Amino acid sequence: MLKINTKITAIGRYIPEKVLANSDLEKMVDTSDEWIKSRTGIEERHIASESQASSDLGINAFQDLQNRYDINPLDIDLIIVATITPDMAFPSTSAIIQEGIGAKNAAAFDINAACSGFIYGLETGQCYISSGKYKKVLLVCPEKMSSITDYTDRNTCVLFGDAAGAVLLEPADEDDDCIVMDSMIKTDGIGKEFLYMLAGGSRNPATHETVEKRMHFIRQEGRSVYKFAVNNMSDSSLEIVTRNGLKGSDIKLLIPHQANKRIIDTVANKLKLQDEQVLVNINKYGNTTAATIPLGMVEALDNKRIKRGDYIVITAFGAGFTWGASLIKWGI
């Protein structure tokens, strides 16, 4: 049976207008612009309006994709939404987006791999394409992190922003080598102790007591997360490059998850990359979890940092712990 390869054929993004700068956070918690920048590389982040949910961000990202590539939503077979900030426990955010964009012929479901959501979604979509069952798979990564951020917690409130990204996956022609070449995803459940949100699950059902204890917010033990993220993003990126017979100099651009500038620098050093080979935009958007990589793809394409035929490496690390990397020969 002939293998069906997958390629990215369209991309889009949405960034809310409201900006929350470090100087604004200085007025909210005991922190400073210098402290935030020196430890994270973040200068500002964008925050969705109170009336916007993650589905709204995702719909706007698709509309950007549609404006760029004139995609007919009726042609979409499947919608995968990767998010940790769903509109509600059920129905799925993907169902809300499916209705919102008019993709009446598409099945839809959500996945939760936290900050690794885009890479997990890409792997999942690729498998559906390879099966031959679906020909147009829309992967949407909308995150309204402000909805689960405790703005009295100085350790986490400086980190996160809101945004959404979307990509369309389709089968590649037999003679087209601009494809998703290789991917790897991994999990270590030890991460449940270090990065989590308690409320809403069956282990911690919502009660008046839990609401009063502010359990609906993200909690993180930063040092442990940092250690795991550095090691696993670095190792997975190096493995995905070397097992495909490439080296750092062959990579046009590394588009890493934007969690911390120091993590990004360590991954780049492991691959022996120059500054111009690494996309960094954490200073402008903060950590938008699953949305960071598609945001980076759109920015790289708009700024002509990537073109058809370039080798692209993406890598991410998130709660679970989850992590992974993908090697893409860019085809847009």
- The set of catalytic residues is 115, 257, 287
Place of tokens 């997360």: 225
Query: Which parts of the chain are beta strand (E)?
Result: 6-14, 18-21, 44-47, 78-82, 107-111, 137-144, 162-171, 180-187, 195-196, 219-220, 253-256, 311-318, 322-329
Peptide bond into 217 cis (omega under 30): no
- Alpha helices (H) along 102-207: 117-131
Give the count of beta carbons closer than 10 Å to the beta carbon of residue 111: 18
Helix, strand, coil percentages (3-state) for the chain, rounded to 5, are 40, 25, 35
Q: Which residue, 217, 92, 84, 65, is CA-closest to 141?
A: 84
Helix 222-242 and helix 261-270: axis angle, to 10°?
30
Contacts of range 131-135, beta carbons closer than 8 Å, 24 or more positions apart: 131/4, 132/4, 133/77, 134/77, 134/78, 135/77, 135/170, 135/171
What single-letter DSSP state applies at residue 288? -
